[in-house]
């Protein structure tokens, strides 16, 4: 009985492997999107200004959503970063783009590029 079950299992696994190989051959290869940044190219992020109280500084909330590898569920996470705003241009609730830069203070490593959308 045990040998029969083992043989049936191995046949089933072999069929599954062949089926997977066939579907891989039929489906076109997915093209990997280009990297966000390469060597010598700074990162950019888009987020919402949470605070503009410090002078020439904004606190930006970055929202990220990605699919969990195993459970396929969309996992959302947020992070905040401090960005330099030379002209005090951005205000709370604005949607902004920030770019990576050299350290400007203990917490600031980003600079404001542009205000995409003003808060209503």
**Number of separate domains in the chain:** 1
The CATH number of residue 112's host domain is 2.40.50.140
In a domain, 58, yes or no: yes
Range of the domain at 64: 44-117
Query: Does residue 52 sit within a domain?
Result: yes
In a domain, 27, yes or no: no
pLDDT single digits (tens) 65-107: 999 999 999 999 999 999 999 999 999 999 999 999 999 999 9
Specify if 55 maps to a domain: yes
- Using an 8 Å Cβ cutoff, are 38 and 25 in contact? no
pLDDT for the residue 108: 97
Least confident of 22-31, 39-48, 79-88: 22-31
Which segments of 1-120 are extended strands (E)? 44-51, 57-67, 74-84, 95-100, 108-117
Q: Is residue 32 part of a domain?
A: no
Residue 60 lies in a domain: yes
Q: Are 73 and 22 in contact (CB under 8 A)?
A: no
**Does residue 81 belong to any structural domain of this protein?**
yes
Contact 100, 43 (CB under 8 A): yes
């Amino acid at each position: 009985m045990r040998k029969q079950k083992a043989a049936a299992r191995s046949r089933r696994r072999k069929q599954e492997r062949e089926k997977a190989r066939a579907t891989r051959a039929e489906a076109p290869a997915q093209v990997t999107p280009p990297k966000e940044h390469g060597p010598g190219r700074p990162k950019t992020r888009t987020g919402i200004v949470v605070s503009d109280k410090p002078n020439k500084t904004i606190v930006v909330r970055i929202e990220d959503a990605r699919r969990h590898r195993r459970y396929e569920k969309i996992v959302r996470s947020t992070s905040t970063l401090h960005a330099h705003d030379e002209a005090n241009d951005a205000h709370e609730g604005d949607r902004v783009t920030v770019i990576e830069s050299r350290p400007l203070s203990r917490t600031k490593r980003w600079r404001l590029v542009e205000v995409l959308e003003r808060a209503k």
